[in-house]
Structure 1
């Protein structure tokens, strides 16, 4: 009986890893713009990668459709910028003078992940 419980536990852990980190690789769509809408839904940001030009303002509209508590905040690592996202609403975030390079943006638990590439 304990072998069955352990086996079910391992299968459930594998499913969690697959769902949050492996299953949504197809959503790696990329947008190149100074203004983009990012849909927050089903554990992913779509598009997950955004290209922008340095020295210009970048406006991002986060359309949060996922009621999960993990989706309530977006954090830009290395830029000291974050925003709280309301369910069912679009939150606009404007970034000025973003330095060139790759900047990750994630939820507070780092399950939702995206990349801002500034050239």
Structure 2
């Protein structure tokens, strides 16, 4: 009987971890930001804010990341589809240059993929 309870508690713990890191309140859809002169992305409390950025395709842009989260996971931002990575300085603005790219959705994450966002390039 004790083995059954240990297994039930273990399964509940696994379900909670999955919910917390991938489905929980930290990863709800954020506001969309239209492209402008300065696009600021705040890195704080386990999220990118905003986590969805809309910009025109075919034009280079600069994203301004401000990292306020001391968590080591937040040290890097990766745009794997664009082959871009940048180390984010704590409590400083870090500029990330986005080259002119084709329309589409380009995810960006931390190195452990716990922080998530999407760059949407529109035609």
SS in 1 for 2:81: coil
* Contact preservation (8 Å) 1:63, 1:90: yes
TM-score computed with the length of structure 1 as normaliser:
0.85
Look up the match of 1:77.
Answer: 80
Q: Report the aligned-residue RMSD.
A: 1.8
CA distance in 1, matches of 2:4, 2:44: 36
Q: Please tell me whether Structure 1 or Structure 2 has the larger radius of gyration of its CA atoms.
A: 2
- Is 1:44–2:47 an aligned residue pair? yes
Q: State how many pairs are aligned.
A: 119
Q: Shift of the alpha carbon at 1:77?
A: 1.8
CA distance in 2, matches of 1:32, 1:79: 20
| 5+ long unaligned stretches in structure 1 | none
Look up the match of 1:113.
Answer: 116
Compared CA separation, residues 4 and 90, structure 1 to 2 (3 A): farther
Q: Shift of the alpha carbon at 1:27?
A: 4.4
Q: Shift of the alpha carbon at 1:4?
A: 4.1
- Is 1:63–2:66 an aligned residue pair? yes
| 5+ long unaligned stretches in structure 2 | none
Compared CA separation, residues 5 and 27, structure 1 to 2 (3 A): same
